[in-house]
Amino acid sequence: MPSLRPTSVPILVSLFFLFLSSCSHVFLHSTLADGVTPEEAKQLRDEVREMFYHAFNGYMDHAFPLDELKPLSCGGEDSLGGYALTLIDALDTLALLGDRDRFAASVEWISKNLQFDINKTVSVFETTIRVLGGLLSAHLIASDYATGMRIPTYDNQLLNLAEDLGRRLLPAFDTPSGIPFGSVNLRHGVDEHESKITSTAGGGTLTLEFGVLSRLTNDPIFEQVTKNAVRGLWARRSKLNLVGAHINVFTGEWTQKDAGIGTSIDSFYEYLLKAYLLFGDEEYLYIFQEAYAAAMRYLFNDPWYVEVNMDSAAVVWPLFNSLQAFWPGLQVLAGDIDPAIRTHTAFFSVWKRYGFTPEGFNLATFDVQHGQRSYPLRPELMESTYWLYKATRDPKYLDAGRDMVSSLQHSARCSCGYCHISDVEFHKQEDHMESFFLAETVKYLWLLFDLAAGPDNIVDNGPYKYIFSTEGHLLPATPEISLVREHCSYFGAYCNTSNIRQDGSDGATNPQINLYGRVGTALPSNSRYSDSTPVSGLIKGICPGLTHGQKFGISYILPSHRHHQDNSGNQGEQTNSESHSIVVVQSQNSDSSSSENKNYHEKLVESSEYERASDPAKLYLHL
Ligand code: DMJ
Q: Tens digit of pLDDT for each residue in 104-119?
A: 999 999 999 999 999 9
Residue 17 has pLDDT above 70, yes or no: no
Provide the pLDDT for residue 482.
86
Band of residue 38 on the pLDDT scale cut at 50, 70, 90: confident
Provide the pLDDT for residue 551.
44
Q: Which amino acid is at 329?
A: G
Provide the pLDDT for residue 377.
98
Half-sphere exposure of 519 (CA within 13 A, CB side): 22
Catalytic residue among 67, 68, 258, 266: 266
Catalytic residue among 359, 383, 399, 430: 359
Cα 348 to Cα 59: distance, rounded to the nearest angstrom: 29
pLDDT per position as a tens digit, 300-342: 999 999 999 999 999 998 999 999 999 999 999 999 999 999 9
Q: What is the pTM of this model?
A: 0.78
φ/ψ of residue 563, rounded to 5: -75, 140
Cα 135 to Cα 473: distance, rounded to the nearest angstrom: 9
Q: Which of left, alpha, beta for 479 (phi over 0: left; psi -120 to 50: alpha)?
A: alpha
Residue 271 has pLDDT above 80, yes or no: yes
Contact predicate 142/458, CB 8 Å = no
**Mean pLDDT score, 140-150:** 96
* Cα separations in angstroms, 448 against 92, 435, 443, 567: 16, 20, 9, 27
Provide the pLDDT for residue 479.
87
Half-sphere exposure of 208 (CA within 13 A, CB side): 36
Residue 378 has pLDDT above 50, yes or no: yes
Provide the pLDDT for residue 589.
36
Residue 502 has pLDDT above 50, yes or no: no
**CA angle at residue 78 from 72 to 79, to 5 degrees?**
90
Q: Looking at the DSSP assignment, which residues form a beta bridge with residue 75? A: 70
Cα(471) to ligand 1 centroid in Å equals: 6
Report H helices in 355-511. 380-392, 396-407, 436, 442-453, 458-461
Band of residue 37 on the pLDDT scale cut at 50, 70, 90: confident
486 catalytic residue (yes or no): no
Cα 417 to Cα 430: distance, rounded to the nearest angstrom: 11
CA 355 centroid distance within chain:
22
266 catalytic residue (yes or no): yes
Cα(585) to ligand 1 centroid in Å equals: 28
Cα(436) to ligand 1 centroid in Å equals: 7
Provide the pLDDT for residue 34.
65
Provide the pLDDT for residue 513.
24
pLDDT per position as a tens digit, 184-195: 999 999 999 999
In ligand 1, the atom with minimum distance to the C-alpha of 126 is 2
**Mean pLDDT score, 392-419:** 97
Choice from 205, 263, 323 to test ligand 1 binding pocket (greatest atom count within 8 A of CB) = 323
Provide the pLDDT for residue 428.
96
Q: Whose CA is nearest to atom 10 of ligand 1?
A: 378
Catalytic residue among 68, 283, 380, 450: 380
Q: Whose CA is nearest to atom 3 of ligand 1?
A: 471
**Mean pLDDT score, 179-203:** 98
| DSSP symbols for 298-340 | HTEETTEE-EEETTT--EEE-EEEGGGGGHHHHHHHHT-HHHH
Cβ-based neighbour number of residue 111 at 10 Å: 18
In ligand 1, the atom with minimum distance to the C-alpha of 129 is 2
CA 176 centroid distance within chain:
28
**Mean pLDDT score, 560-566:** 37
Provide the pLDDT for residue 617.
23
**Mean pLDDT score, 417-427:** 98
* Residues of the chain above pLDDT 70, percent: 72
- Report the interhelical angle of 266-279 vs 221-234 (nearest 10°): 130
**Mean pLDDT score, 402-411:** 98
- Report the interhelical angle of 337-354 vs 396-407 (nearest 10°): 30
Average pLDDT score, the chain: 79
Cα(407) to ligand 1 centroid in Å equals: 20
Cα(306) to ligand 1 centroid in Å equals: 19
In ligand 1, the atom with minimum distance to the C-alpha of 380 is 11
List the one residue out of 165, 222, 218 whose CA is nearest residue 480: 218
Provide the pLDDT for residue 11.
37
Band of residue 268 on the pLDDT scale cut at 50, 70, 90: very high
Provide the pLDDT for residue 351.
98
Q: Whose CA is nearest to atom 2 of ligand 1?
A: 471
Choice from 123, 440, 441, 468 to test ligand 1 binding pocket (greatest atom count within 8 A of CB) = 440
**Mean pLDDT score, 557-572:** 37
* Cα separations in angstroms, 566 against 320, 339, 571, 598, 612: 22, 11, 6, 16, 17
In ligand 1, the atom with minimum distance to the C-alpha of 326 is 4
430 catalytic residue (yes or no): no
- 3-state SS string for 179-206: CCCCEEECCCECCCCCCCEEEHHHHHCC
**Mean pLDDT score, 560-581:** 37
Cα 331 to Cα 288: distance, rounded to the nearest angstrom: 12
**CA angle at residue 140 from 134 to 146, to 5 degrees?**
140
Residue 580 has pLDDT above 80, yes or no: no
Residue 557 has pLDDT above 50, yes or no: no
Q: For 57-155, where are the E strands, in sequence order?
A: 68-70, 75-77, 121-123
Residue 245 has pLDDT above 50, yes or no: yes
Residue 498 has pLDDT above 50, yes or no: no
How do 121-123 and 183-185 pair as beta strands? antiparallel
* Residues of the chain above pLDDT 90, percent: 69
Contact predicate 305/327, CB 8 Å = yes
Cα(380) to ligand 1 centroid in Å equals: 8
**Mean pLDDT score, 3-21:** 38
Provide the pLDDT for residue 57.
98
Choice from 378, 444, 473 to test ligand 1 binding pocket (greatest atom count within 8 A of CB) = 378
Provide the pLDDT for residue 158.
98
Contact predicate 294/342, CB 8 Å = no
Residue 272 has pLDDT above 90, yes or no: yes
Long-range contacts of 303-307 (CB under 8 A, 24+ apart): 303/21, 303/24, 303/339, 303/342, 303/343, 303/345, 303/346, 304/17, 304/20, 304/21, 304/343, 304/346, 304/363, 305/260, 305/261, 305/262, 305/343, 306/13, 306/260, 306/363, 307/258, 307/259, 307/260, 307/262
Provide the pLDDT for residue 152.
96
More confident residue, 586 or 210: 210
Cα 105 to Cα 126: distance, rounded to the nearest angstrom: 25
Provide the pLDDT for residue 486.
39
Cα 241 to Cα 32: distance, rounded to the nearest angstrom: 38
Cα(441) to ligand 1 centroid in Å equals: 10
Choice from 436, 441, 468, 469 to test ligand 1 binding pocket (greatest atom count within 8 A of CB) = 436
Cα 304 to Cα 20: distance, rounded to the nearest angstrom: 9
Cα(130) to ligand 1 centroid in Å equals: 9
Ligand 1 contacts (CB < 6 A) are 129, 267, 323, 378-380, 436, 440, 470-471
**Mean pLDDT score, 384-407:** 97
In ligand 1, the atom with minimum distance to the C-alpha of 270 is 6
In ligand 1, the atom with minimum distance to the C-alpha of 266 is 6
Catalytic residue among 67, 68, 126, 209: 126
Provide the pLDDT for residue 196.
98
Provide the pLDDT for residue 263.
97
Provide the pLDDT for residue 59.
98
192 catalytic residue (yes or no): no
How do 522-523 and 588-589 pair as beta strands? parallel
Choice from 467, 471, 473 to test ligand 1 binding pocket (greatest atom count within 8 A of CB) = 471
List the one residue out of 532, 551, 543, 533 whose CA is nearest residue 465: 551
Who's near 340: CB < 8 A, 6+ residues apart? 327, 328, 329, 331, 332, 384, 387, 388, 391
Cα(529) to ligand 1 centroid in Å equals: 33
Band of residue 462 on the pLDDT scale cut at 50, 70, 90: confident
Q: Whose CA is nearest to atom 6 of ligand 1?
A: 470
